[in-house]
């Protein structure tokens, strides 16, 4: 066991995939000579050459479409989109091609494509580089949506995605890249079918994913200091959602708080809330609560950005309101 950064974990998975399968290649803006917008692919061009590490023009629709074509042709492309906001330029390729071809061909075609992109706010990059739109992708049948929150998942989920016969979209919260965590080089492929309990508790379930998991754990620490033990559940995979693990936790704690960096209206948090209400309504001791971003474009100013995003203090307050207590 060693400690490495989230960024290094993704790079290690990329290196392993490229070394072990000649069909794998990485393509995207600045992934080669520059080493990636977040330094994830630094050194890979020198190691694997320009045929395997391909810099692309600044056209998301074009290079994501090229990735779909390569996957149809038997390759295992990994496409990097610089930020989730820019991925909207390629939504036609996602919704009308990558996600539909298996269905529309009656199972004759598969698109073993992996798309990685940075998501989330907190870096003062303003509205065009800071939104959390992974819930939009989770709405689309035909793709799998992963949100690794830990170093181990950053490594293992990418390896698991490359084994899938259909498109997999991996959303990496940009604030996680420099975060360190425990890493076992022998850990191998991650389980991408199940959510994970990151902290056990009995009085409420705090459900989060990606960059919000750390905030949920911070809130749990603060609550524990006041004698309130909450369970923290990391969704990990947004499509398909692991209903069984969600409902098992909520039935135990009888309360649920969903933390989602997306906007509240039409959010993934709303979908999770609906599933809890449908599957565990009579087990609840309080309404399902949500902690989401303010309904505004993410601001540039630091104090406004912080105010717009879910924060540990807001999670703590919401849990206390559900419990009807002001302990601590």
pLDDT band of residue 185 (cuts 50, 70, 90) is: confident
Question: How many domains does the chain contain in total?
Answer: 2
At 102 the pLDDT is 97
Are 223 and 293 in a shared domain? yes
Residue after which a domain boundary falls, among 151, 183, 215: 183
188 within a domain of the structure (yes/no) = no
232 within a domain of the structure (yes/no) = yes
Are 111 and 20 in a shared domain? yes
Are 11 and 153 in a shared domain? yes
pLDDT band of residue 186 (cuts 50, 70, 90) is: confident
- CA 203 – CA 281 distance, rounded (Å): 16
Identify the active-site residue in 29, 47, 51, 60: 60
Are 114 and 207 in a shared domain? no
- CA 235 – CA 145 distance, rounded (Å): 11
Residue after which a domain boundary falls, among 140, 160, 183: 183
Are 21 and 149 in a shared domain? yes
Q: Is the pLDDT of residue 244 over 50?
A: yes
Would you say how long the chain is, in residues?
A: 328
Instruction: Pull the structure tokens for residue 247.
Output: 């409902």
| Averaged pLDDT score across all residues of the chain | 96
Are 161 and 110 in a shared domain? yes
At 325 the pLDDT is 56
The pLDDT tens digits of the residues spanning 98-114 come to: 999 999 999 999 999 99
- Beta-bridged to residue 117, according to DSSP, are 81, 171
CATH code, domain carrying 84: 3.40.50.970
Contact 233, 245 (CB under 8 A): yes
At 328 the pLDDT is 44
At 153 the pLDDT is 98
305: annotated active-site residue: no
Q: Is the pLDDT of residue 240 over 60?
A: yes
Identify the active-site residue in 29, 80, 129, 134: 129
The pLDDT tens digits of the residues spanning 286-298 come to: 999 999 999 999 9
What mean pLDDT is predicted for residues 247-253?
98
Residue after which a domain boundary falls, among 183, 218, 249: 183
The pLDDT tens digits of the residues spanning 14-36 come to: 999 999 999 999 999 999 999 99
Those residues with Cβ within 8 angstroms of residue 326's Cβ, 6 or more apart along the chain or in another chain: 320
Are 13 and 160 in a shared domain? yes
Q: How many CA atoms lie within 13 A of 185 on its CB side?
A: 5
194: annotated active-site residue: no
Q: Is the pLDDT of residue 327 over 50?
A: no
What mean pLDDT is predicted for residues 44-70?
97
Range of the domain at 316: 196-323
Are 160 and 284 in a shared domain? no
CB atoms < 10 A from the CB of 263, how many?
21
At 166 the pLDDT is 97
What mean pLDDT is predicted for residues 219-225?
98
Return the percentage of the chain with pLDDT > 90, whole number. 97
DSSP three-state, residue 180: strand
Contact 252, 151 (CB under 8 A): no
Those residues with Cβ within 8 angstroms of residue 315's Cβ, 6 or more apart along the chain or in another chain: 206, 215, 216, 219, 257, 259, 291
- CA 25 – CA 287 distance, rounded (Å): 47
27 within a domain of the structure (yes/no) = yes
189 within a domain of the structure (yes/no) = no
At 326 the pLDDT is 44
At 187 the pLDDT is 87
């Amino acid at each position: 066991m060693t400690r490495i950064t989230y960024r290094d974990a993704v790079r290690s998975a990329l290196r392993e995939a490229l070394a072990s399968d000649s069909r794998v290649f990485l393509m995207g803006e600045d992934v080669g000579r520059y080493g990636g917008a977040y330094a994830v692919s630094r050194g890979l061009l020198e190691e694997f050459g320009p045929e395997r590490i391909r810099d692309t023009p600044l056209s998301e629709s074009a290079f994501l479409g090229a990735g779909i074509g390569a996957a149809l042709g038997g390759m295992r492309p990994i496409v990097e989109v610089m930020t989730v906001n820019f991925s909207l330029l390629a939504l036609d390729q996602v919704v009308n091609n990558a996600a539909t071809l298996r269905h529309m061909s009656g199972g004759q075609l598969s698109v073993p494509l992996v798309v990685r992109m940075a998501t989330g706010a907190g870096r003062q990059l303003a509205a065009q580089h800071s939104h959390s739109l992974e819930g939009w992708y989770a709405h689309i049948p035909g793709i799998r949506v992963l949100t690794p929150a830990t170093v181990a998942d950053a490594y293992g989920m990418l390896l698991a995605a490359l084994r899938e016969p259909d498109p997999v979209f991996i959303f990496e919260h940009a604030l996680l890249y420099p975060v360190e965590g425990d890493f076992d080089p022998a850990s191998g492929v991650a389980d991408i079918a199940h959510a994970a309990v990151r902290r056990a508790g009995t009085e409420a379930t705090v459900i989060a994913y990606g960059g919000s998991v750390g905030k949920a754990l911070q809130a749990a620490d603060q609550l524990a200091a006041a004698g309130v033990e909450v369970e923290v559940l990391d969704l990990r995979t947004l499509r398909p959602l692991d209903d069984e693990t969600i409902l098992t936790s909520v039935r135990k704690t009888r309360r649920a708080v969903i933390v989602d960096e997306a906007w509240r209206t039409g959010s993934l948090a709303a979908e999770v809330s609906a599933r809890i209400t449908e599957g565990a309504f009579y087990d609840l001791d309080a309404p399902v609560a949500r902690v989401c971003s303010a309904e505004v474009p993410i601001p540039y100013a630091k104090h406004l950005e912080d105010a717009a995003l879910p924060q540990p203090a807001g999670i703590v307050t919401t849990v206390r309101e559900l419990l009807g207590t002001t302990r601590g």
